[in-house]
Amino acid sequence: MPDNIAPLSPESSVAASHSPHRVGSGIEYERFLDCVHCGLCTASCPTYLETGNENDSPRGRIYLMRAVTDGRLELTDKVKGHLDLCLDCRSCETACPSGVQYGRLIEPFRVEMQQQAAAASPGASQDWFQRWILYGLFPYPKRLRWALAPAKLMQITKLDRLAERIGLTKLLPERLRRMQRLLPPLKARQPQLPEILPAFGPKRARVALFTGCVADAMFQHVNWATARVLQANGCEVVVPRTQVCCGAIHYHSGAGDPALELARQNATAFRAADVDAVIVNVAGCGSMLKDYGHMASELAAQDTSTTLLLEAFAGKVKDVSEFLVELGPVPPQGEIRMKATYHDACHLCHAQKIRDQPRALLGLVPGLQLVPLSESEICCGAAGSYNLTEGEMADRLADRKLKNILATGAEAVIMGNAGCSLQIQAALRDAKSPIRVVHPMEILDWSYSKSN
């Protein structure tokens, strides 16, 4: 049991029901009671594995949140620290035999934490980094592309390496320094994806592609590869121009209202596309898009039209590997002679329960040797913006992941999430390792292109 918390009692439930202004009071109380505190989640929790502190385990955090909701514990900075250290990787949900919906606890609790802070001190609940970088830059691909232009120029001229060598980057604030460190080699930008790409061969489906914000700015080549793979599998691909950020950056950091507005915009944009499925190639975005119905029930329960709109949209969202396996993939013929390993992105394997599908698709590629990765389902420490805001823990988890990747002897590590890619590329660069980081759709795209 976490430190300094009184034992839970049946009366706690009654107390919570009469305390509408406490943080956590908006959460369905039965969700707290689903946890029987068996501790089976602790072996899968990345932060608990690193600290050994019960307050940094899923059941410990549930104790903390419930105690705050019941009024037995003040929401101090120390309590907030344990909750903020959670990666929201959802690995505890995979391990839990009782079906505890941990994400439906920590996420709305964080929203209420931020709402309380904003009410207590209007305008002071966000620091400069949240206001201008997390919320003002990352969710907007055009702004992000403009912001990355100087960084790309510095990479081309190698001024970035010079700045690191003489210590100039150390003058940056810590979070900006971490951003600079995480930047991958920025590729030349390809033309914008057309609004409609035709299917190759007989048309089997009409789908829409979610292009994302950070993914569009830094991994546009993966979006192109995804579109070509879908085309090769007989899909007409629609790319709605009015789509926006999925809202995960806001929602996971407690900013509920902006996340809800982004969700409404996406649901409206993709409803107009009239497609069989909405395809996403980033695990974090896919998890968020599929959770739109849950978010609506938490933040807009009285707004029936919004809830129905978001639930209908969420029901159409498919990870690209999930969709292709259901459709029945066209086997690629081009040989890719490579020894690779596969990293399970948390929001793909834990939140979306997608593990076998990416491996099944990669298994179709001639010549590709896939070797197992130890602790494949343990978080790498990226977790959206976590590696910028909780740097020390993010680095510990990156080192843990790096050691496991290096032990495979692989030439490449494959993963389906932009955040993981940035985190693991940075760790490999620091280790001066030549191992490549690639997306499953890139591998399939190479194989299909060799087939022609």
pLDDT tens-digit readout, 310-340: 999 999 999 999 999 999 999 999 999 999 9
Q: Could you tell me which of 45, 56, 94 has the C-alpha nearest to residue 397?
A: 45
Is the domain 196-325 a CATH 1.20.1050 member? Answer: yes
Give the pLDDT band (50/70/90) at residue 21.
confident
Residue 5 reports pLDDT greater than 60? no
300: tokens are 């807009």
Radius of gyration over every alpha carbon of the chain, rounded to an integer in angstroms = 22
Residue 203 reports pLDDT greater than 80? yes
Mean pLDDT of 294-315: 92
The answer to whether the beta carbons of residues 323 and 281 sit under 8 Å apart is no
Contacts of 297 (CB under 8 A, 6+ apart): 307
What is the model's pLDDT at position 2?
57
The edge-to-edge listing of strands for the beta sheet with 277-280 is 196-197, 235-238, 205-210, 277-280, 317-319
The domain 11-120: what is its CATH number? 1.10.1060
Residue 133 and residue 355: Cα distance in Å, rounded? 32
In three-state secondary structure terms, 339 is: strand
**Could you read off the pLDDT of 234-247 as tens digits, one per residue?**
999 999 999 999 99
What is the model's pLDDT at position 332?
96
**Could you read off the pLDDT of 359-375 as tens digits, one per residue?**
999 999 999 999 999 99
What is the model's pLDDT at position 452?
63
More confident residue, 119 or 228: 228
What is the model's pLDDT at position 122?
65
Task: Indicate the domain borders of the chain.
Answer: 11-120, 128-182, 196-325, 333-451
Residue 15 reports pLDDT greater than 50? no
Give the pLDDT band (50/70/90) at residue 302.
confident
**Could you read off the pLDDT of 379-435 as tens digits, one per residue?**
999 998 899 889 999 999 999 999 999 999 999 999 999 999 999 999 999 999 999
Question: Phi/psi at 449 (nearest 5 deg)?
Answer: -65, -30
In three-state secondary structure terms, 279 is: strand
Give the pLDDT band (50/70/90) at residue 127.
confident
Mean pLDDT of 123-149: 86
Mean pLDDT of 137-144: 93
Residue 144 and residue 111: Cα distance in Å, rounded? 25
How distant, in Å, are the alpha carbons of 185, 218, 334, 419, 422 from that of 182?
A: 10, 11, 33, 10, 6
Mean pLDDT of 111-121: 83
CATH of 333-451, one of 3.40.50.1860, 3.30.70.890, 3.40.50.300, 3.40.630.10: 3.40.50.1860
Mean pLDDT of 343-363: 97
Question: Phi/psi at 370 (nearest 5 deg)?
Answer: -105, 120
**Could you read off the pLDDT of 233-285 as tens digits, one per residue?**
999 999 999 999 999 999 988 888 999 999 999 999 999 888 999 999 999 99
What is the model's pLDDT at position 118?
78
Helix and strand element counts for the chain (H, E): 25, 9
Residue 173 reports pLDDT greater than 90? no
Residue 341 reports pLDDT greater than 90? yes
What is the model's pLDDT at position 165?
87
The answer to whether the beta carbons of residues 337 and 299 sit under 8 Å apart is no
Mean pLDDT of 75-82: 95
Question: Phi/psi at 312 (nearest 5 deg)?
Answer: -65, -40
**Alpha-helix residue ranges (DSSP H) falling in 97-218:** 103-120, 128, 141-157, 159-165, 174-182, 214-218
Measured from the Cβ of residue 17, the count of other Cβ atoms closer than 10 Å reads 10
Look at the block and give the residue holding tokens 């009239």.
Answer: 274
